[in-house]
Structure 1
Amino acid sequence: MNTGRALQSLNGAQLNSKAVHQHAPGLKTPVKSGVTKPDTKHKKKKEKLSALCKTPPSVVKTRSGRGYRRGSFLGEGGFARCFQMKDESGKIFAAKTVAKASIKNEKTKTKLLSEIKIHKSMSHPNIVQFVDCFEDEVNVYILLEICPNQSLMDLLKNRKLLSEPEVRYFMVQIIGAIKYLHRRRVVHRDLKLGNIFFDPEMNLKIGDFGLATIISSPDKKRYTICGTPNYIAPEVLGGKNVGHSFEVDVWAVGIMMHALLFGKPPFQAKDVQVIYERIKKNEYGFPEESTVSEEARDLITDILCTDPAERPTLDEILEHEWFQAGPFPRTITVDSLTKKPRQFAYITKEESIINFNLCKQQVGINAAPKRPVEILKTDLESEKPKALLPNSLSPNNTKSKYREINSPKYLNKVNNKLATAHQENKMIALLDDTLSATIDNIKQVEARRLSTLTETDKPVLVSKWVDYSNKHGFSYQLSNGCTGFLFNDGHSLLKAQEAKNYIRVKASTEIGWTTTKFTGFKNELSKEIEIVEFFERYMSKHLSDVSSAGAKVFKNRDVFLRRYSREENYLMFELSNGSYQFNFKDHHKIVLSEFGLFITHITPNKQIETLPLRYVLDNGNFYEHPDEYFEVKYDFMKQALRQKLTV
């Protein structure tokens, strides 16, 4: 089932005419081996089923009584027609409309419900957002976010060829979404240019989950021959003799990359059977007249490996030298829909590296593993004899839409942590409260809704650190002279500089953290004190301070490190006083303090400047010690804060 027109603007191009639909709504399968000509009888069936999708009434009512006003017709596939739908607030969506008359048996019904269940469970910035699902007497409606700037296929038709910087950017977004799917044990199986759409900000979104399937364990395979001919992987053509898995989506990445850079898919031919033979024999080439780089050709060759086990992983693709062999844009503008951007030539190598890492961060490349999705049999059973959809798929029922399953290893970890679960939840809640307050203050400052404060103490900085988390934890020294150690179990020990004064910080079920002060040596803490004092001596002897300001007396000395994060492009510290310190790879440090109201810049030669955030934003940079890439890094920091918030 093709959702393409549901996600594109009114004057979009025709649906991909080479996708052959058979058996069920949502199934786009190639002509099977041995068939050399399109099945004209089958074509008639396709047209007939599409005609079964009756035009919805001017107002479509859901079971809850909510109304959607039908807008313009957007297009149709083999089994679905697509319309704009506007809710009572005026917000516009895309409605993929499937005729109930086309759902003739339990198998086709199950396939449709599986598509809905899988898509409903997805939440990623580069996946088309599922909004709602409802039905009337003749149709089933799948309501989706509308992507007004058409698809990658439309972009390629308009432009004929895309530049390498654009394709680098697009590939990172696509791979980020695929990695999210694979972490949840979902294989899309129909990735192609026509199923990837542009939102209003020109971010890519993967849509159409009609062929998506769940593979619950790495050793399992699927055997259905399905996909779109130009994009189909060789192991899919092997059918029941071979089987396929997650690697088919990796293959599609190579096909799309080739198509965008060279103007057409590598195995394209007029005859579908010729396409399959070329795929099986891996017969393709690169146009001699093309100026596409050798690095790009090398990556495509690596991905389009006949043996799925020999293809690079998604992470390995992003590690390929091509991604850093030329300019990497910070964003793509709407102008790119019609003409080649010119500004890429002015992007420096350092800026490209920052943009590349920022893009990876935005799409969640390094995010924590996601729990897989499982489709329950009860989800696919109708609760009312005359209704197609079970109640759990109708609006106003947000519970039990799908169940997430956990691996035994994960469940064991959960069981082992039951005793401290309440403490951890409170800690996370307090971290989130601080993050939320900081994010909200930044928004208020950017909107000029906060009065400007002009004076503050210089923030407490993490001045030195040693990561010893492979054994004990993370040691650090603050600019106020205190030395701390964040142990792997989450508690901390803080030592004042001038005396044998210690503060022990522990998780609390009531307030997140509690601090206990004591003086001198405590037997029960002797081992921890030894660790803190060892690293205090080590850092004092071997490491230099982060700034030249030196230690000073601070109003609040009970500052400690709550959490730290190592990312590819920076190290992030979250302090208990509402400060967030970012140490970037280029040796610049930027600190958001006073819950986002002030910002500090420490240069590589240790010059420091602290200003109200409002002043820096008005100026577009710091005054005395500007950072050439401040704007990029500021976006980095905001994105990092948002990503730290638990959902």
Structure 2
Amino acid sequence: MSSKRPLQPLNDVHLNKANVPPLTAKTPIKGSVTKPEAGKKKKREKLSSLCKTPPSIVKNRHGRGYRRGHFLGEGGFARCFQMKDDTGRTFAAKTVAKASIKNEKTKTKLLSEIKIHKSMSHPNIVEFIDCFEDDVNVYILLEICPNQSLMDLLKTRKILTEAEARYFMVQIIGAVKYLHRRKVVHRDLKLGNIFFDPQMNLKIGDFGLATIINSAHPKRYTICGTPNYIAPEVLGGKEVGHGFEVDIWAIGIMLYAMLFGKPPFQAKDVQVIYERIKTNDYKFPPDSTVSLEARQLIRDMLSTDPYQRPSLDQILNYDWFKCGAFPSHVTVESLKQKPKHLAFITKEESMINLANCKQMVGINDVPKHPVEILRTDLESERPKTLLPHSLSPDNNKNKYKEVSPVNIKPYKSKISNQLSKAKYDNKMVLMLSESLSTTLKNIKDIESGQLQPNPELLQRPQLVSKWVDYSNKHGFAYQLSNNSIGVLFTEGHTVLKFQNRDDIYLILPDEECGWKVDHFAPEEMPKSLTNEMQVIEFFDKYMTAHLSDVSSDTTSIQNAGIFLRRYTRDDNGIMFELSNGSYQFNFKDHHKIVISDYGHYITHITPNKEIETLPLDYVLENGNFYETADDYFTVKYNFMKHALREKLSI
């Protein structure tokens, strides 16, 4: 099959649905000039007007072509166009005219924006794709967000529910915490710079004012930002200076606007806005039904003294996040009306949804390496070019890719000996690597015809039938298809029990064999496991009441020695690594595929809970499953192999 596809016509992206401010519906004509009317003072020309319409095909320095599509909008110094590559992927291209970069200060500002944004990798930050240039423009290629911005949503809805605001706040705080961990302050957080992706997750964009705060530059002094969102210390200029706290202030402004319909200091005259900000002159509308807990959080975030504002972690501990409904997700229904299902979310569900949301946005992730601006990032080696080699190639994006280590923590309970973390972590990592290596080798041999699995040994694999990610507090709870309930606790140990049985299995990290499994009858149960048993009972009741099984087929082998060793969540879904050498992939389209028995067999579970298990070579020979074909099997199969190899490399 040819890797290149013919260029397809671009689908329309409505102007009010892209991750840029929508201002006009027409593509500007190259070189067009409008003469001012007689007697009228000529307005100051916007720098964005210097941007020439890109040619129909724009190529990066490696010759990869992007087809220009519709004009999407413009800001103060850039215009944005839809771009499509030859695989059909669509992007937003922020286009900056080289003629607008008139001095070294402006150039440094643009290159700093590129470096900072390029080094970001977070599910709630607009993805940086590529940057390149031609003779007249610089192009910054970004993930396209087709479902409008928070500002557009507020214009349509006027006010949002507190449940929606809670969900949005956690996603915003997760992204901002990631920025702050990397020593970056955004400085232009506002509703118009936060966009919705196709799944209605929020994405922070526009790093034009972002800067780095570190020991060399503990404060910044430039007066910048959008009037309604500027913190009082920013208005103090060189007399005061500002730091990370300006982003906390902006989050408080956004929360007020979401719940009350407009920013708290809004006025027609910018100077009036600034005076109100300096004197903290705002009020809550007297006829609003917004909760007291929300008002208290807003008051604290809008403290004039930046050091009196709560930290991002402290914000998430406010009662407001726990006193009302918290949805598991937001749908496109929210773009036009109040979602109907919010009233039916129970307190128990809200607690788990909040924990899941925190997990997804990385609230408890380990600190990231700070962003650094190097001299090579700001200097060009070639004449007549703007982008240095360190920034312009699209194939060096992996230079900034963050690789997380295997995250296995020692268990520090009374029931465990104090083992050497380095020893047993290494043993566990070795066991995981051996399992992955065996699976990948078998898959390779099956693909080449050197290994044929025996159909007579075929059996249905154990499946993760239900799961709840509550690792923010306790751990990851799951139910296997053999009806065992397990919790992989945050400390690294697992407790496993069968429904309708009182005995349990305790799986501990072990320095000799990687994991040690202990079985306890009811009369032998250690008292130190009391808390764990309460957690398991809670999750057992929750999953029984609220979650459905992954498959309608209940036949399985009753093997109590199987447990979840590790799991990974990303934008494509979730991957489970089981102790029996099975790897289960739950994709976002609700299809599930399991590679079992170290690569010999493969299982497909459809969204309708139909299940089919076959030797891997049968499926590869057919190019798909037989009874339960998946239209995207080839893509998913290649993705799974890539995910396994990536795990092995880590």
Q: Normalising by structure 2, report the TM-score.
A: 0.66
Give the equivalent residue in structure 2 for 1:157.
Answer: 155
The alpha carbon displacement at 1:576 in A equals 3.1
2:460 is aligned with 1:453: yes
Give the equivalent residue in structure 1 for 2:412.
Answer: none
Give the equivalent residue in structure 2 for 1:64.
Answer: 62
For residues 381-410 of structure 1, the C-alpha deviation after alignment (integer angstroms, 9 at most, x for no partner) is 10102111112323343168559999xxxx
8 Å Cα contact 1:82-1:95 kept in structure 2: yes
Secondary structure in 1 matching 2:609:
helix
Q: Which moved more, 1:58-67 or 1:148-157?
A: 58-67
The residue identity in structure 2 corresponding to 1:393 is L
Give the equivalent residue in structure 2 for 1:323.
Answer: 321
CA distance in 1: counterparts of 2:241 and 2:394, whole angstroms: 39
8 Å Cα contact 2:174-2:363 kept in structure 1: yes
For residues 87-133 of structure 1, the C-alpha deviation after alignment (integer angstroms, 9 at most, x for no partner) is 11222111111000111111111110110011111111111111111
Q: Which runs of 5+ in 2 are unaligned?
A: 1-11, 24-39, 405-419, 442-457, 464-479, 541-556, 569-574, 585-591, 598-602, 612-642
The alpha carbon displacement at 1:50 in A equals 2.0
CA distance in 2: counterparts of 1:190 and 1:336, whole angstroms: 25
The residue identity in structure 2 corresponding to 1:182 is H
Secondary structure in 1 matching 2:94:
strand
2:338 is aligned with 1:340: yes
CA distance in 2: counterparts of 1:44 and 1:64, whole angstroms: 40
8 Å Cα contact 1:150-1:197 kept in structure 2: yes
The residue identity in structure 2 corresponding to 1:355 is N
Give the equivalent residue in structure 2 for 1:9.
Answer: 14
The alpha carbon displacement at 1:135 in A equals 0.5
For residues 337-396 of structure 1, the C-alpha deviation after alignment (integer angstroms, 9 at most, x for no partner) is 122222211222212222222221211112222121111111211010211111232334
Give the equivalent residue in structure 1 for 2:272.
Answer: 274
Give the equivalent residue in structure 2 for 1:362.
Answer: 360
Q: Which runs of 5+ in 1 are unaligned?
A: 1-6, 18-39, 407-415, 438-450, 499-534, 549-553, 566-571, 582-591, 598-611, 621-640
The residue identity in structure 2 corresponding to 1:193 is L
2:600 is aligned with 1:577: no
Give the equivalent residue in structure 1 for 2:76.
Answer: 78
Where do 1:595-606 residues align within 5 Å? none
Q: 1:462 to 1:430 in 2, by over 3 A?
A: farther
The residue identity in structure 2 corresponding to 1:486 is P
Give the equivalent residue in structure 1 for 2:392.
Answer: 394
Q: Give the one of 494, 509, 519 matched to 1:486.
A: 509
Give the equivalent residue in structure 2 for 1:136.
Answer: 134
Give the equivalent residue in structure 1 for 2:114.
Answer: 116
2:88 is aligned with 1:90: yes
8 Å Cα contact 2:22-2:74 kept in structure 1: no
Q: Which moved more, 1:240-249 or 1:387-396?
A: 387-396
Q: 1:112 to 1:475 in 2, by over 3 A?
A: closer
CA distance in 1: counterparts of 2:43 and 2:120, whole angstroms: 35
The alpha carbon displacement at 1:140 in A equals 0.3
2:237 is aligned with 1:246: no
The alpha carbon displacement at 1:618 in A equals 2.6
CA distance in 2: counterparts of 1:144 and 1:466, whole angstroms: 38
Where do 1:11-30 residues align within 5 Å? 11=16, 15=21
CA distance in 1: counterparts of 2:159 and 2:439, whole angstroms: 43
Give the equivalent residue in structure 2 for 1:618.
Answer: 609
Q: Give the one of 287, 300, 322 matched to 1:302.
A: 300
Q: Normalising by structure 1, report the TM-score.
A: 0.66
Where do 1:113-262 residues align within 5 Å? 113-217=111-215, 220-262=218-260
Q: 1:214 to 1:537 in 2, by over 3 A?
A: same
Secondary structure in 2 matching 1:73:
strand
CA distance in 1: counterparts of 2:518 and 2:344, whole angstroms: 49
CA distance in 2: counterparts of 1:542 and 1:328, whole angstroms: 26
CA distance in 2: counterparts of 1:400 and 1:257, whole angstroms: 35
Where do 1:553-564 residues align within 5 Å? none
CA distance in 2: counterparts of 1:302 and 1:191, whole angstroms: 18
The alpha carbon displacement at 1:537 in A equals 6.4
The alpha carbon displacement at 1:210 in A equals 0.3
The alpha carbon displacement at 1:494 in A equals 3.7
Identity level (%): 61
For residues 293-331 of structure 1, the C-alpha deviation after alignment (integer angstroms, 9 at most, x for no partner) is 111111111111111111111111111111122221222
The residue identity in structure 1 corresponding to 2:579 is S
For residues 247-277 of structure 1, the C-alpha deviation after alignment (integer angstroms, 9 at most, x for no partner) is 1111111100001111100011111111111
8 Å Cα contact 2:462-2:482 kept in structure 1: no
8 Å Cα contact 2:462-2:481 kept in structure 1: no
The alpha carbon displacement at 1:45 in A equals 3.8
For residues 577-616 of structure 1, the C-alpha deviation after alignment (integer angstroms, 9 at most, x for no partner) is 35899xxxxxxxxxx998789xxxxxxxxxxxxxx99599
The residue identity in structure 2 corresponding to 1:453 is R
The residue identity in structure 2 corresponding to 1:384 is R
The residue identity in structure 2 corresponding to 1:156 is L
8 Å Cα contact 2:188-2:226 kept in structure 1: yes
Q: 1:58 to 1:353 in 2, by over 3 A?
A: same
The residue identity in structure 1 corresponding to 2:92 is A
The residue identity in structure 2 corresponding to 1:269 is A
Q: Which moved more, 1:428-437 or 1:62-71?
A: 428-437
Q: 1:495 to 1:453 in 2, by over 3 A?
A: closer
The residue identity in structure 1 corresponding to 2:282 is Y
CA distance in 2: counterparts of 1:464 and 1:174, whole angstroms: 29
Secondary structure in 2 matching 1:279:
helix
Q: 1:337 to 1:540 in 2, by over 3 A?
A: closer
8 Å Cα contact 2:119-2:401 kept in structure 1: no
Q: 1:577 to 1:266 in 2, by over 3 A?
A: same
The residue identity in structure 1 corresponding to 2:358 is K
Give the equivalent residue in structure 2 for 1:526.
Answer: none
8 Å Cα contact 1:132-1:395 kept in structure 2: yes
The residue identity in structure 1 corresponding to 2:83 is M
The alpha carbon displacement at 1:57 in A equals 1.0
For residues 156-208 of structure 1, the C-alpha deviation after alignment (integer angstroms, 9 at most, x for no partner) is 11111111111111111111111111111111110000000111111111000
8 Å Cα contact 1:82-1:96 kept in structure 2: yes
Q: 1:106 to 1:350 in 2, by over 3 A?
A: same
| Number of aligned residues | 499
CA distance in 1: counterparts of 2:604 and 2:85, whole angstroms: 39
The residue identity in structure 1 corresponding to 2:48 is S
RMSD: 4.8
8 Å Cα contact 2:486-2:494 kept in structure 1: no
The residue identity in structure 1 corresponding to 2:509 is L
Q: 1:222 to 1:476 in 2, by over 3 A?
A: same
Q: 1:229 to 1:481 in 2, by over 3 A?
A: closer
The residue identity in structure 2 corresponding to 1:367 is D
Where do 1:503-582 residues align within 5 Å? 576-578=579-581
CA distance in 1: counterparts of 2:489 and 2:132, whole angstroms: 56
